[in-house]
Amino acid sequence: MGRLDFKKAAPEASPEDYVFSQIDFSRYREINKKDFERLFPEGLEDFSGEFYRKNFGIDKTEIRSVIEESYKKAEEVYILQKEGPLILSLMRTLETSLESSPLFTRDEIQTELSQLCGFVSGGTSREFKGMDHLYPVLVHSLNNLIIHHEDGMQTKLFISPQGDLSATFRPGGKPWTLVLIDKR
């Protein structure tokens, strides 16, 4: 932001419009099929319904519809049919936002364990006691895990000094760290 020269903005342009006009959205005009199918629509699951309502004023179903209607599949790429502020902002936000949902939550683990207990006992799901003790153990079991990606990149999971499960990614070879599960 510090490198933007607001004096070059048109007199009638708002600061938001000027900033938006300076972003290079060309990467969203044509997206490799493999990347598109991994990030969009699969990537929609990385964010909560509240995230979509707060940032776009619409829900995940409508977001999915906007993406599907905006892109056309051609051979090995998806091509943006018509550029517009909503689709460009949406694609940029989904790709760069740090507000993703946790990797897993206590409630999700509780549900899985309840179903597992029911399966093992041959009955219906039951409440799993001791989650407050098991959840931290599950999170800590991911400490120092290294995930090797198809493109040769690696992601390292680790417990931060604050107790959060974090990961260091290296998009474009540049290290980038993100909290996946906070200690709460």
What is the tens place of the pLDDT at every residue in 30-54? 999 988 987 777 788 888 888 999 9
Give the confidence band of 154 by pLDDT, cuts at 50, 70, 90. Answer: confident
* pTM of this prediction exceeds 0.75: no
Q: Categorize the per-residue pLDDT at 162 as very low, low, confident or very high, splitting at 50, 70 and 90.
A: confident
Nearest CA-CA partner of 88 in 59, 69, 64, 67: 67
Query: Rounded to whole angstroms, how far apart are CA atoms 58 and 56?
Result: 5
Q: Is 7 exposed, middle or buried (0-12, 13-18, 19+ CB in 10 A)?
A: exposed
pLDDT tens per residue, range 68-95? 999 999 989 999 998 888 898 888 888 7
DSSP string, 17-77: HHHHHTS--GGGTEEEHHHHHHHTTGGGGGS-HHHHHHHHSS-HHHHHHHHHHHEEEETTE
Higher pLDDT: 85 or 159? It is 159
Q: To the nearest 10°, report the CA torsion of 10, 13, 19, 22.
A: -40
Q: How far apart are CA 126 and CA 119, in angstroms?
A: 9
The whole-angstrom separation of Cα 95 and Cα 81 is: 19
Is the predicted pLDDT of residue 1 greater than 60, yes or no? no
Q: What is the mean pLDDT of residues 6-33?
A: 75
Sorted by where each begins, the domain ranges of the chain are: 18-96, 102-132, 142-184
CB–CB of 126/116 below 8 Å? no
- Peptide linkage before 41 cis (omega within 30 of 0): yes
